[in-house]
Chains A and B, each alone.
Chain A
Amino acid sequence: MNSVKVLDAKGLACPMPIVKTKKAINEIATGEVLEIHTTDKGAKNDLTAWAKSGGHDLLKFEEENGILKFWIKKG
């Protein structure tokens, strides 16, 4: 998947993944994809809810060796 930006939020605790994601999504254009890596276990539900509320699309989610990866398309 073509992401224009990768946000490394590994090791960060709540509320930082969501705060950083918000900042990062402000820096890309509508329709572009942001990739987020995090290790916070709450992030799956957090980012899913956040994307929905903000009108963004969670395109893909993957878990790999304890790292949660998200691809969010800016809406």
Chain B
Amino acid sequence: MTEKKKTTIVLFSGDYDKAMAAYIIANGAAAYDHEVTIFHTFWGLNALRKNEKALVKKGFIEKMFGKMMPRGADKMGLSKMNFAGFGPKMIKDVMKKHNAMSLPQLIELAQEQEVKLVACTMTMDLLGLQKEELLDNIEYAGVAAYLADAEEGNVNLFI
């Protein structure tokens, strides 16, 4: 085969269902032998947060942001029918029944398949997120690095 095709996905959304769609496509594309990049920006960064609290210095507003946003993929809400957190519980039950993978599992699988996970550093600053709070083995970059991948991309999505 000739040079590898590329898939690039911008994950802007911080909803469990939308992030799931992004990660299913990313894992599928990796199975298609594409080089895959997911660029996490704004609320999408929360998918990369670790569950546990990291000891980092923060200002007041940053602390508030940190408290109000979901700490990790498993804590994210649904874009529809969230019902104050009851929706995700229901859908996770249904997913188990249908043997669908959970979002944290999909993220782990993506890392196994060498999907490049990128955190947007500018929005990390805006939301007060620091490297210590995000998953290990991810990359940090801005719009130029994303565009460098995207301009050679065959599939390019904004979710």
Contacts and interface: CB of A to CB of B under 8 A. Distances in A.
Interface in A14-62: 14-16, 18-19, 21-22, 50, 53-55
A21 B32 contact: no
A54 B109 contact: no
A22 B32 CA distance: 8
A27 B30 CA distance: 16
Contacts of B31: 15, 18-19, 21-22, 50
B100 interface: yes
Nearest to A18: B31
A11 interface: yes
Given A22-B33, A54-B33, A55-B1, A15 B98 contact: no
Contacts of A21: 31
A16 B102 CA distance: 12
Chain B binding site: helix, strand, loop or mixed by DSSP? loop
A54 B101 contact: no
Given A14-B24, A55-B1, A19 B30 contact: yes
A22 B100 CA distance: 18
A11 B99 contact: yes
B27 A15 contact: yes
A18 B28 contact: yes
A13 B1 CA distance: 28
A25 to B, nearest CB: 10
B123 interface: no
Interface of A: 11-16, 18-19, 21-22, 50, 53-55
Given A18-B31, A19-B109, A22-B30, 12 more contacts: A14-B24, A14-B28, A14-B100, A15-B28, A15-B31, A16-B101, A18-B28, A19-B28, A21-B31, A54-B1, A54-B32, A54-B33
14 contacts: A13-B100, A18-B28, A18-B31, A19-B27, A19-B30, A19-B31, A19-B113, A21-B31, A22-B31, A22-B32, A22-B33, A50-B31, A50-B32, A54-B1
